[in-house]
Amino acid sequence: MAQPNPARRTRLAVAATTVCAPARSAEPDLVDTILDYLRVAGLLSARDAELDEIASAVREVFAGEQAYIAARPASARQQLAADVLRAFNGRNATELARVFSIGRTTVYRLLKQAGRGAP
């Protein structure tokens, strides 16, 4: 599993990796990592036997599937698209890319998608 960018990690993410770090011999899978986050956040208070049962059930249901987790939620992407469209004056794509910390290509992609009616 790829390690997340340390600069973007939340306090909860740091706590989960520090407190619930698995043995160095095996890399944790997504199920273990998610359960660790929930436990550290106090959202999961099950006993170890129950956690193993939950993890087994999740693995059984999603076995073999590949998951894509977007860096930004859909609402944030839609808000970014709306902000770029509102600020675009026809000549400031480079400036908008700098202001919104996105690539100039992304500015043009957002404009093109908006032209098709799907931001």
What pLDDT is recorded for position 24? 47
10 and 58, same domain (yes or no) = yes
What pLDDT is recorded for position 1? 47
Alpha carbon of 115 to those of 65, 70, 90, 106, 109: distances in Å? 34, 23, 14, 14, 10
What pLDDT is recorded for position 96? 97
What pLDDT is recorded for position 64? 87
12 and 49, same domain (yes or no) = yes
What pLDDT is recorded for position 52? 85
Reported pTM: 0.52
Does 32 map to a domain?
Answer: yes
11 and 58, same domain (yes or no) = yes
Look over the chain and give the mean of its residue pLDDT values, rounded to a whole number: 81
| Contacts for 26 with CB less than 8 Å, ≥ 6 apart | none
Exposure of 39 by Cβ count < 10 A (0-12 exposed, 13-18 middle, 19+ buried)? Answer: middle
What pLDDT is recorded for position 13? 57
Q: Are 37 and 69 in contact (CB under 8 A)?
A: no
What's the start-to-end Cα distance of the chain, in Å?
A: 31
What pLDDT is recorded for position 110? 95
Share of the chain above pLDDT 70, in %: 76
What does the angle CA 102 – CA 106 – CA 109 come to, to the nearest 5 degrees? 160
Q: What CATH number has the domain bearing residue 110?
A: 1.10.10
Does 11 map to a domain?
Answer: yes
Does 17 map to a domain?
Answer: yes
Instruction: State how many domains the chain has.
Output: 2
Does 111 map to a domain?
Answer: yes
Domain stop point among 62, 84, 100: 62
Q: Which residues of the chain have pLDDT under 70?
A: 1-25, 117-119
Containing domain of residue 11, as a range? 6-62
What pLDDT is recorded for position 9? 57
Does 67 map to a domain?
Answer: no
Does 101 map to a domain?
Answer: yes
DSSP secondary structure letter of residue 21: P
| Contacts for 94 with CB less than 8 Å, ≥ 6 apart | 104
